[in-house]
Amino acid sequence: MHSEDGVIHLIRLADRPGTSGHSVSVRVLGRSRPGILTGHDLLDCEIVIVAEESLNASFAVTLFPEDLEDWEETLAGLEARRFGTWLDSGRTPSMRFKSQESGGLLVSVHDGPSTGVTVTLPLSVLPPTWAAEQRDLLTRVREVYPREVVETSPGTYEWRRNHHS
């Protein structure tokens, strides 16, 4: 589940080895502001897009706990071969997923808040287990970075009872 540099992936989609060399991933770099109530459960991440030797782009993104729930719902839709959008709040780059007739996936990242750039990458030969693999990655992120803060009323936060700091 870890990459060679110890970074945990939330999403890791890649064509089968020996094909296009295209990949899209979301790497979790760590908690945004560990130990600070309002930022402890936020995760600093980067969306990384690689297309062979010609393109290697990354977009910084901070994920809220509800973004993980949204990804779980988006993934369920993708498994049913429906169009999916994730991170479309406007505060971060957004991701769009479109199933292809061939069984592949067209993935677009739109960096609306910052550069305005959109990168679209075809993943034509995903392994049949790709959706299950994404669920496993999501479970792993939740295990490593559990929610440790609760909002008791609007704007009021406290540590969950089982938090050990």
Q: With respect to residue 47, please indicate whether it lies within any of the assigned structural domains.
A: yes
Domain count, the chain: 1
**8 A C-beta contact, residue 93 and residue 26:** no
Q: With respect to residue 2, please indicate whether it lies within any of the assigned structural domains.
A: no
Q: With respect to residue 147, please indicate whether it lies within any of the assigned structural domains.
A: yes
Q: Read out DSSP for 67-110?
A: HHHHHHHHHHHHHTT--EEES-SSSS-EEEEEE-TTS-EEEEEE
Q: What is the mean pLDDT of residues 137-146?
A: 96
Q: With respect to residue 165, please indicate whether it lies within any of the assigned structural domains.
A: no
> What local confidence, expressed as pLDDT, does residue 3 receive?
43
Helix (H) or strand (E) holding 56: strand 55-63
> How many Å from the N-terminal Cα to the C-terminal Cα in the chain?
26
Q: With respect to residue 58, please indicate whether it lies within any of the assigned structural domains.
A: yes
**8 A C-beta contact, residue 33 and residue 143:** no
Average pLDDT, the chain: 89
Q: With respect to residue 97, please indicate whether it lies within any of the assigned structural domains.
A: yes
For the cut 70, the answer to whether the pLDDT of residue 163 exceeds it is no
Give tens-digit pLDDT for 55-83: 899 999 999 999 999 999 999 999 888 89
Q: What is the mean pLDDT of residues 135-153?
A: 95
For the cut 80, the answer to whether the pLDDT of residue 4 exceeds it is no
Q: State the CATH number of the domain containing residue 35.
A: 2.30.31
Q: Read out DSSP for 139-157?
A: HHHHHHS---EEEEETTEE
Angle between helices 130-144 and 65-79 (to 10 degrees): 170
Structural domain harbouring 149: 8-159
Q: With respect to residue 45, please indicate whether it lies within any of the assigned structural domains.
A: yes
Q: With respect to residue 37, please indicate whether it lies within any of the assigned structural domains.
A: yes
Give tens-digit pLDDT for 81-112: 889 999 999 999 999 999 888 878 999 999 98
